[in-house]
Amino acid sequence: KLNNHMTHLAYDNVDEFIAKQKLYSELSQKKKNIFKALMSPCWTFVKLYFFKRGFMDGWHGFVIAKIYAQYTFWKYIK
């Protein structure tokens, strides 16, 4: 049990986060499908920003949802 609050930062900055997402998208490539390449990122953004309440984090939540949507697009387009 921790006595104090702990903050876990997986990435030092947004550029590092985006670079990791690009790498992960290459490692988890999906079969090319134009429909999924267009629809899956939209669903990812809606799911993270609205259903998982990313909007509660302000612009940080928006940026995270956008980056994950971009990652989803890269998975299907590469």
3-state percent helix, strand, coil for the chain, nearest multiple of 5: 70, 0, 30
d(CA 58, CA 21): 21
pLDDT value at position 48? Answer: 97
Domain residue ranges in the chain: 38-78
Query: Is 74 within 8 Å of 22 (Cβ atoms)?
Result: yes
pLDDT along the chain (78 residues), means of 10: 78 86 82 87 98 96 95 86
